[in-house]
Amino acid sequence: MKTDQYVIGVDYGTDSVRSVLVDASNGAAVASSVFNYPRWQQGLYCNANTNQFRQHPLDYIEGLEHTIKDCLKQAAGVVDPAAVKAISIDTTGSTPVAVNQSGVPLALLPEFADNPHAMFVLWKDHTAIAEAAQINDHALKFDVNYLNYCGGIYSSEWFWAKLLRTLRVDEQVRAACYSWVEHCDWIPFLLTGGTDVQAMKRSRCAAGHKALWAEAFNGLPPNDFFASLDPLLDDFASGMFKETYTSDVAAGSLSPEWAERLGLSTAVVVGVGAFDAHMGAVGGQIEPYHLSKVMGTSTCDILVAPASDMDYKLIKGICGQVNGSVIPGMVGLEAGQSAFGDTYAWFKNMLGWPLKNLLQSSAVIDAETAKALEAEMLDAIIPELSRQADLLPKAADDEVALDWFNGRRTPDANQALKAAIYNLNLGTDAPRLFRSLAEATCFGAKNIVDRFIAEGIPVEGIIGIGGVAKKSPYIMQMMADVLNMPIRIHQFSHTCALGAAMFAAVAAEIYPNVETAMQQMGGGFDATYDPIEANVNYYAARYPKYKALGNFIEQNTKHE
């Protein structure tokens, strides 16, 4: 291969977008830039009490332009923009939006500029719980089980439930909505200058895991499935898409407009998009039967198995199994936890309430000092809680928590479920509560591993990726002890963006396939957490209490 070739990986997360400029010869990051979504930071269009989480497409567009241009600026004099050969992107998902026939998100039209229903419905938006339940009941009426390849249970976090909810609650959006598009499909369409949504190359990853597309059905379920679910869905599937594309395929090249905006050439290839954890698994150098855990606000757990091994085996209660959703030629299996880092963030915000609400009115210190003290204390809360929790003695009657703060993703999706904490007393303090929350997230991870194994899918190792994996030795050691498996932590800090860069290199034909790109551009692992035998025994005795608490909450949760 040529040595002066560079690629850009763009990773759209929940709070921000990051772009990384990567040397395609060795995977070294030349520059990196992050952009926090300004409207999202202000809490616009969201209501946590009703589980409504929406994002404006302008946050995505502004972040895309800012981060790529910033990377090129950082690399000026080192990287000739003409040496940039490809861009690929990953996003959260399912994060879909209503678009017109030209593929323009309705929120970009003046009449919908501030309408939450015209915006991207973020992955963790759970306003469609009733619609998901209806889809699950409806699927039982057909001879063919159209939920077979998404684990048998449809989730409120996914494509069709969110579309149906949107069409039902907003008549204006319903009238203007020509199609329904995933975030990871729209960004490549935008970059390549797409003007006809029916020509959009849809991601196999997104379509297979969240939108009921399957090779076995030769596409989406038939129109009758959707029309009989609700007449509002009549003709949506038949006019949407049939073909899907793996992310080693080019979606096109940069349009003249975007080439000019970014300072790049129209020869730059734009790859088909995918979800963040799927590209992150590639960036983290996933191996067959090793579970890649992308640990951020939630977790997304990815496992790949050779297609020949699966032999039409159906895995119950996970977030789908799709041939080629991660690596072409292998079946990608997805699971995850709806709240992981969000659990710790919730507790941090609870403890930080006085800092955020009382310091500014203090008569003891001035406003500038109060602001600085607030920032210092908030930054110190989680590291200090981790240190103090690690010093606590381990006892059989320690507090027990449940990690369903945002519902349960896997096993067996149920977004109506809530978290709980049991065995509190007057001696329970912040470090003890934090320990119980950390333990709950690790037990949630074990519940996923146990489901894979029970369904005949071996889990031979764990690969840790993401912010929590890199920054929290306390939680990673606990997880190794709970799972009784070593956890390898990938050395690259922005693994999802690196995975996107690897796919960009394949789409641009710098490498012949994803496996070669992983081998050449992956930097390996920089830490391993091995189980500690005494802790393994302690957590093994505690795990049934977590399961029992979960069973109690599930049995006593009202389903709307």
pLDDT tens per residue, the chain (560 residues)? 456 899 999 999 999 999 999 999 999 999 999 999 999 999 999 998 999 999 999 999 999 999 999 999 999 999 999 999 999 999 999 999 999 999 999 999 999 999 999 999 999 999 999 999 999 999 999 999 999 999 999 999 999 999 999 999 999 999 999 999 999 999 999 999 999 999 999 999 999 999 999 999 999 999 999 999 999 999 888 778 999 999 999 999 999 999 999 999 999 999 999 999 999 999 999 999 999 999 988 899 999 999 999 887 899 999 999 999 999 999 999 999 999 999 999 999 999 999 999 998 899 999 999 999 999 999 999 999 999 999 999 999 999 999 999 899 999 989 889 999 999 999 999 999 999 999 999 999 999 999 999 999 999 999 999 888 888 999 999 999 999 999 999 998 899 999 999 999 999 999 999 999 999 999 999 999 999 999 999 999 999 999 999 999 999 987 54
Tokens representing 282 are: 């590639």
Residue 111 and residue 152 share a domain: yes
Considering the domain boundaries, does residue 318 fall inside one?
no
Domains contained in the chain, number: 2
With beta carbons less than 8 A apart as the criterion, state whether 157 and 338 touch. yes
| Pair (345, 213) in one structural domain | no
Looking at the structure, do residues 157 and 74 belong to the same domain, yes or no? yes
388 occurs within a structural domain: yes
Do the Cβ atoms of 20 and 503 come closer than 8 Å?
A: no
Looking at residue 45, its pLDDT comes to: 97
Provide the domain limits for residue 534: 341-491+530-555
pLDDT of residue 352: 95
pLDDT score of 360: 87
Q: Is 333 inside a domain boundary?
A: no
Angle at which helices 473-483 and 367-391 cross, to 10°: 30
Do 278 and 404 fall within a single domain?
Answer: no
Query: Same structural domain for residues 502 and 451?
Result: no
267 and 197 in one domain? yes
Same domain, 52 and 80: yes
SS3 readout for 246-275: CCCCEEEECCHHHHHHHCCCCCCEEECCEE
For residue 273, the domain's CATH number is 3.30.420.40
In a domain, 316, yes or no: no
Same domain, 389 and 502: no
pLDDT on residue 1: 47
Within-domain flag for 310: no
Phi, psi of 218 (to 5 degrees): 60, 35
**Looking at residue 467, what is its pLDDT?**
83
- 278 and 414 part of one domain: no
Is residue 331 in some structural domain? no
* 501 and 458 part of one domain: no
Same domain? For 167 and 129 the reply is yes
Which pTM value belongs to this model?
Answer: 0.92
**SS3 (DSSP) at 115:** coil
